Amino acid sequence: MSDAVDNSRQKAILDSAFQAFAAYGFRKTSMDDIARGAGMSRPAVYLHYKNKEAIISKLTELYYADKGAAIAAQLATSGSVPEVLRRAILAHTEGIAAILASPHGLELLDTSKSISSEVISQGEAQLASLYAAWLSEGEKAGRLRLLASADETARTITATLKGLKMTGPDAEEYEKRVAQFADLIGAGLEIR
């Protein structure tokens, strides 16, 4: 079996699982549901993932890899401190509103948190390190002013974004709060 076929099968499984989890919830989704959505037999799915927990862990790992790449790309763009930070924060939170809007979005986030806590901890640390490096470079270049260390400011950014996921009453309010936070933190860091 070639890597390309293996990767396309894994992608089909992960895409199917995500759709099923969003539609039916983690608990009510069966491996049969995932296999059917991926166009495979259940035994074929088990060749790649031993259970739903392994699938949710992989989805969480891929989420952080994608977010890390998106944030890094935005932090490397030019513009004012508020503009660059806003783009990075919006890249960081892109797609979350769709999860929150799904019938089982909060269950999916809670399940991911309980099953993949180590992956989440490492992922959040990676995202914070991206912000911290950008903040440190900006401070050294005289582009921005920090009231705490770059690491502490970065952890505050990522913790706030994580908290906004759980406190917004709906997807629209979540997006509004994220945009407001991005504008506030960007304005607060900019040297005028």
User: What CATH code is carried by the domain that includes residue 182?
Assistant: 1.10.357.10
End position of a domain, from candidates 50, 68, 90: 50
Same domain, 107 and 119: yes
* Closest to 56 measured CA to CA, from 101, 23, 20: 20
Same domain, 35 and 72: no
Same domain, 99 and 185: yes
Same domain, 63 and 5: no
Same domain, 82 and 59: yes
Same domain, 57 and 44: no
The whole-angstrom separation of Cα 156 and Cα 151 is 9
Q: DSSP state, 103? A: T
pLDDT tens string, the chain, 192 residues long: the values are 444 445 899 999 999 999 999 889 899 999 999 999 999 999 999 999 999 999 999 999 999 999 999 999 999 999 999 999 999 999 999 988 888 888 887 778 888 888 888 999 999 999 999 999 999 999 999 999 999 999 999 999 999 998 898 787 788 898 999 999 999 999 999 998
The angle subtended at Cα 9 by Cα 114 and Cα 70, nearest 5°, is 60
What pTM was estimated for this model as a whole?
0.88
Which residue range(s) make up the domain with 184? Answer: 52-189
